[in-house]
Structures are given as C-alpha cells and as structure tokens.
A and B are shown apart, each in its own frame.
Chain A
C-alpha cells in the first residue's frame, strides 16, 4: 500500500498539470469532518475539481471515481496552523534565508509576505508530510508596531502556494509592541491611532505634510480601517486585550483577531461579547513575562466554554517549522479534561482548533479547514488517531491533488540507517 502511494506521489510530482480534476472517493474511513464533531465510522469523502463534494457516513462513491479504501483508518481535513512563519524561513539563524522581519526597511504595514513564500522551503515539505495543509503566515515586526501583511498559504508541492495574499495585517500591541513603538504602551496607541487616521486621510485623497507613514504604508492600512482586512493583534495581558477590544469603539469597522492572548480566559466574557476570535498558544502555562502572569493550559478550554471562537497557533514557538506540533498540542488539551479544576476540550473540539477554527478566525471557514461540501479538498489519511503521538499521516491531498510524502530528512535517515561507511562513502548512497 505504502509503495503504491509513494509511486503515485512521484508521478504527481513529475507531472506538469496537477490532477485536481480527478474525482477521488476515500471510503471505509473513520471520518472527521473538522467541524467540532467526533469521528464517524464507515465514512466516505468525495472530492472533485479540487473541492469536497460530500463527506459523511451515508455518502456513496460516484461512478467513475478513483476509490481508495481507507480500511477503517482515520481520514480528516488537512491541518490548518492558526499562526506561523511557514514558507518564509529556511534556517532561522541564517539571515539570508529568513524573510520574517525587515529591521532596516523604511516600510512596515506595506510589507507583504506573499512574494517571500517559497513552497520548496524544507519546513513546507516536512509539515505537509505530517498532515499540515494550510497555514496563516505572518511577518514579524521590527521597528514598528505594524509587521505587515500576512498570507494564507497551502503546503502543496507546486509553485502556487499563496491561497490568499494580503489576508491580514499583523500588529504588536503588548510588550513587543511597546518596544517597537518607542518604549511604552501609550506609544503603541499613539502610533496606531495616527496610522489609522493617516490611512483614512489617504483613502479620502488627503495627505498631510507632516504625515509619518509612507504612502505605501498608509495605503496598506486602508482595508484595515475599512474592515475589509482582518487585523491580527498580538496581545497577552488581560488589560491589553481589553484595550485592543475597545479600539472597535473608535474604529467600528475594525475586524479584530487576537493572537497569543495568554490571559484571555480572565476576560473571556468580554471577548465573547465583542465577537472577536482568538488564535492562542495551546500549552503556554508559564509566566514567561509580566504580560502572561495568568498563563494556564486551560486558557483555550475556558475560552471555548465561554463561546469564543478559538484556534491554536504557533506564537513565538518555532513558528517557522514546527506547525506539525499542533496535533500534539490539541491532544494535550483533551488530556487536560481529566484533571480536576482544569478545562480541556473534547476530542472533536480539540481537532477543530487545528482545522475549522483557525479557518473561521481568518474568515475562511467557507473555503478551508473542514470536509464540508464546497471546501478546498485538503484531506489526510492517518495510520491512527491524528492527535496521538504515535500516529503519522500516510497520504495527503491539497486542492484535490495527492502530495509527495518524502522529505530530505527521510533521505538522511535512510543514508545513515547503518552509520558505518560501506563499499563507497555515504555521499554515494541515495
């Protein structure tokens, strides 16, 4: 079975035209739709033209479809990482390969990560092989509270990685923001108000002589102030969260999404009332800074109980490469449910935090993150429970295209399966 899949995968990699038009039905699956429900046995998922047609227990494989018998294995939507720097960094410590931040650029809000996305980044290959199919990719801020415009990408083995360029603006509102703004939180809000005011002026065709933003930066913030582009705001402290929420009174169209939000559980009702989604770190439970004193692994569980839309992101957490860990994180939230006094998630809700919830937080719930009809056909077959530590993805489809699964790491492993050299140096073994 594995050999067949590998052969199929290499054919796909070699073919110039992706086979997205093919109708594929995966039958006999332990099927997870990703909408918060648990798995159903004997499920089928059907995809054609790169989209999901149907998924469920009573679904029949259409005539002419390529039928794949999952033999009872788990089949889920591909994982969506709620916050990452996937595809814009090869080696974090090698500056030339790291496009996350631009310390010496005169621009900030205008910076757009999408041209930097390299689908051949080894982190894309590796995370794809582990079942991650989409990611929210944010720039990092240097010299301004505005980091720039992030993208939603797919992790497919083709050169068209960007699902949605300029999908959001990313801003630092907490301790990091204070540093970037000049040294204090008041400096953040002065910078923010000024920037949005200049964006409004720019949209109205005015530009004052004392404008602080470049034209491009002001232009980039127009869709933010108009509410056409979500504003992802990194905040951790409860008072900073409330401050961010209150900005909606001043800028009513603002489409706010909170990122990090370690202390969110202490003001969950206010977040719920504001209708603002949260992309949080799953397991951050240390007072890593004075803005995260109330850190607990129960943050996400308590937010979910309060009715907040909450997703898992890799915030300051190996964001360029370890998106695959979201499975483990979600599993840990299930485990937490057994500890008295803690708030965990049930399995279905936990899986949603790494599939449909991040999609919904980004306003893309109709497009990605679940196997509901019409969604992009990102599908994974697993050799066990996808949240369990021993499980691996065995086949991955993105936009209906079956993906290659082999990585550079696999080749290194095979080369050194026996460490001693044989009849020729290791350099000849491949």
Chain B
C-alpha cells in the first residue's frame, strides 16, 4: 500500500507527503487504520500468451516516440524490447508487420460501458444515482455489468485495452470510478485493473442544475453547484481530520460515512478527480475550489472550451479530455471547435481524446486523426506519433496507471495493437489486440472474437461486428 500510494501521488503530479495514516505504525494496543482501501479487490489475471516479435512495422510508442521499419518483442505479458532490430528468443511467434502499425492499446478515460450497457433498457441503466446531488458513496464497479456487448466492440473495432468506467454526470459528486482491463470476466473484480487508483467523478454545469433544479431543490444554478461542492469539501476536510487524528492518537473510531471516505481519500491524494466540465469559466472556478480545499483535478472531461484556457490548464497541470467534434447538443457545448485538442497540445497542456460513448469508443483513433488534421490546417504541426499520446500515455497519467501501461516501454504491460494500416486513416482497422501479452482479438481468426453472454444464441452471434 505504501508503494502504491507514492506511485499514485507521483503519477498525479502531486507533492503529497505520506500521511500520518500511512506512514506511522500504530503505536500502542490494537492496530488502527483507515477504513479498508480495497474491499473489492481485483481478481484479474493475464491470460497466457506467446513470446511475440513483430517485424518490419511502424511503431508509435505512446509517449511520442516513433520507430519506422522497426521491431517489437513482448513476452510473459510484458513489453521486452523495441527498436530497429530486436533479439527474439527461440520459438517466439514472428509476425511480419510490413505496411502495418503497432501502437499501445487505446485507453479511454471516459466510458460508461457496463453501467450504461447495451441493450439500453431501464433494467440495465445503472449509471446515475440521480437521487441526490452528492453521491460520493457510490462505486461505479457495483453497477458494471460485465456482460455488456460494448466491451467486445471497443476491443475489436477500437483496439481499446484499458478503460475507466465513470458514474454519470447528473450529480455534483457522482461517485467512484473503476478502471478495467478490457477482458471479459464473470465478475467485475475479474476485469479490474490490478492496483489502479480510484477516480472520483464530479460534474459542473448544466446537468446537476437541471436534474435538481427541475425538482426545485439545491442546486438549481451554477452558484448552487459551487455552494454544494464547497460545503461538501468542507465537511470532507473535517472528516479526514477526525480519521487521521484517530489513526495517530487512537480512541473511539469516528463514525463511518462512505461518501466522506471517498472524499477524504481525494484530499489525501489517493483518489484522482475526474471532473466533467465544459465551459472555460467553470473550469477556472473548479481550479480555484481545488486550491481552496487542497486537492488536485486530474482531468476535466468534455472540456469543449479547454482551448480558451489552455494556458491555465498547463499552469495547473490538469489534463483536458475532449471529443474531436461533438458540439451544440446543449448550451455548454455550443462553443466547441474541432481544433480544441491540437490547441491544448500546442499550449503545452495535457490533451486526451475520450469517448463517453459506446460507439465513439470504437473509433478513438479516428477522433484523434480528425483533430490532428484540423490542427495542421491552421499550422499546428503535431507529428502522428505525438498525437497518439492523446490515446495512450496522457490518459494513463490522468488515471494514475502510467507506470504500468499507456506506452510500449520495456517492462510495461504488453497492451498492444497491430493495425492493418496507418491507424490515423479511416481505411484502417485493428488486426490483432494483445492485453498483457495475450492475444484477445484477431481479425483473421473468428475464435479470437469475444461474444458476451447476452449475445450468445441471439441473431448475429459471433458475426463480425
């Protein structure tokens, strides 16, 4: 836990010293600790894979690096080496990648697969606990239906290997996210990314004020949103103090409050804030609020106006997770422009392409390609391999898992996609997808195509989707 804490704090770019809670052994009698940090632990295990060498291939490493006509070797679930030539062990599977591309698996920082699954019937609609504006106590993983057919489409069409499932945006504090490996399992625990930190979903703007204002309750305005947020953070700070004091000094443990558990962990720097926020002025308000209460926003999601404050985002070390071209469906998305992503990149801030959509997640590479082209058209000349960071290391950083995935650095998880052409072209599709070195999709082999329980025995079962 200690190492994990530090890794997460570093990953989030936080100068968080280890707290009394984690740092000091309990002094006297019974051990005192914070409420259990991991009561629903991951049971995910990598599937077996062959040592695999891909040759003659164009490689984007996910951190902005590129190797033309190169080679990459992965074995035992990990990236082993990449370069112009790589020594492969005897018996390794060798794939000729001529005319093809290798990238790290696509990471979607914003998905509702599993909590808003297909079919979109009310009985399976579990994404928004829209019964109160503050529901930090709910955990998305307790809604995720691991049989969502959407996971298979994200894998086979989108090359998505890791995704963050968030609660919806009806609430100011929507609850905890869960990060999954895109591998079907019987339980959500079986999909959970081992050791990934939790995220906290927050939302600005129209959704909370519409949902609760419509019921004539707080918040019905943006100032109401902020007031409820601030009051809640004030309460969380107090809760955290009580628990930290208990761990330090002993005595009667304070009463458990599940919502406050989550928020206290945010204040300790262990849970990363993923904040739905469209408008520039609202993002600026949230940045000030985060300073007021001493937490850090990992990423603004749906940040359609990020381009207006790209300098502020850079200065504060906050990522912007964006669509390439969604716009205008509601007032706060009215000023969306297709150059948003490249403008954020150009300002030196952290840009991420996200989906928030069961169809969009199947084509995140294409979203990046559109944004890249629109940037180039106004003279922002970002190389293809740098654009790939929007789908790889940048979301991994904002999710606190960049030490394990998000790029093809030796020692990292072998989450790898072989594309049958340039992945920034509309004419290209994933040919093979490996997760932790195991071949989980092969366009050329119908047996390497997952079919969820729901689709088994239904019309079109096992069809190319």
Contacts and interface: CB of A to CB of B under 8 A. Distances in A.
Interface residues of B, number: 61
A334 B427 contact: yes
B320 to A, nearest CB: 12
Chain B contact residues: helix, strand, loop or mixed? loop
Interface in A318-336: 318, 320-322, 324-325, 328, 331-332, 334-336
Given A285-B157, A290-B119, A413-B378, A339 B330 contact: no
B459 A413 contact: no
Central interface residue in B206, B325, B347, by most chain A CB within 10 Å:
B325
Contacts of A297: 157, 464-465
B426 A335 contact: yes
Given A286-B150, A318-B329, A339-B464, A294 B459 contact: yes
Contacts of B443: 339-340
Central interface residue in B326, B370, B372, by most chain A CB within 10 Å:
B370
B245 interface: no
A73 B372 CA distance: 21
Contacts of A283: 359, 362
Contacts of B425: 388-389
A238 interface: yes
Nearest to B444: A340
A295 B465 contact: yes
A412 interface: yes
B454 interface: yes
Interface stretch (B38-46, B59-67, B87-95, B302-310): B302-310
Interface in A372-430: 387-392, 409-410, 412-413, 416-417, 419-420
B465 A328 contact: no
Nearest to A266: B459
Nearest to B118: A286
A404 to B, nearest CB: 17
Given A321-B327, A409-B338, A290 B121 contact: yes
Nearest to A281: B359
A91 B459 contact: no
B339 A413 contact: yes
Nearest to A388: B426
A288 B424 contact: no
Chain A contact residues: helix, strand, loop or mixed? loop
B33 interface: no
A19 interface: no
A412 B331 CA distance: 15
Interface residues of A, number: 56
A88 to B, nearest CB: 13
A123 B325 CA distance: 12
A292 B312 CA distance: 45
Contacts of B150: 286
A305 interface: no
B231 interface: no
B455 interface: yes
B326 A318 contact: yes
Central interface residue in A93, A266, A284, by most chain B CB within 10 Å:
A93
Contacts of B308: 416, 419
Contact of A413 (B118, B149, B307): B307
Nearest to A384: B373
Contacts of A238: 459
Contacts of B121: 289-290
Interface string A290-321: 10111111100000000000000000001011
Contacts of A217: none
A289 B464 contact: no
B159 to A, nearest CB: 13
B292 to A, nearest CB: 23
Interface string B429-465: 1000000000000011010000000110011100111
Contacts of A318: 326, 329
B1 to A, nearest CB: 39
Contact of B329 (A93, A387, A419): A93
Interface in A234-277: 238, 263, 266
B460 A416 contact: no
B254 to A, nearest CB: 42
B277 to A, nearest CB: 16
Contact of B463 (A296, A320, A332, A410): A296
Given A283-B359, A318-B326, A389-B424, A328 B149 contact: no
Interface in B129-155: 149-150, 153
Contacts of A293: 119, 455, 458-460
B328 A123 contact: yes
Contacts of B330: 91-94
A187 interface: no
Central interface residue in B309, B335, B427, B444, by most chain A CB within 10 Å:
B427
Contacts of A298: 463-464
A387 B366 CA distance: 12
B391 interface: no
B329 A294 contact: no
Contacts of A416: 307-308, 343
A122 interface: yes
A237 to B, nearest CB: 10
A42 B399 CA distance: 52
Given A331-B426, A331-B427, A388-B426, A122 B328 contact: yes
A285 B424 contact: no
A338 interface: yes
Central interface residue in A298, A342, A387, A389, by most chain B CB within 10 Å:
A389
A341 interface: yes
Given A286-B150, A324-B325, A325-B325, 14 more contacts: A91-B329, A283-B362, A293-B459, A294-B458, A318-B326, A320-B329, A339-B429, A390-B372, A390-B424, A392-B374, A392-B377, A413-B307, A417-B343, A419-B310
Interface of A: 90-94, 122-123, 238, 263, 266, 283-290, 292-298, 318, 320-322, 324-325, 328, 331-332, 334-336, 338-342, 387-392, 409-410, 412-413, 416-417, 419-420
24 contacts: A91-B330, A93-B330, A93-B331, A283-B362, A286-B465, A287-B149, A287-B455, A288-B119, A293-B460, A296-B463, A318-B329, A321-B328, A328-B363, A328-B426, A334-B426, A340-B444, A342-B464, A387-B426, A389-B425, A409-B338, A410-B337, A413-B339, A419-B310, A419-B312
Interface of B: 118-121, 149-150, 153, 157, 206, 307-312, 325-331, 334-339, 343, 347, 358-359, 362-363, 366, 369-370, 372-374, 376-378, 420, 424-429, 443-444, 446, 454-455, 458-460, 463-465
Across the A-B interface, the 4 shortest Cβ-Cβ residue pairs: A331-B426, A93-B330, A294-B460, A390-B373
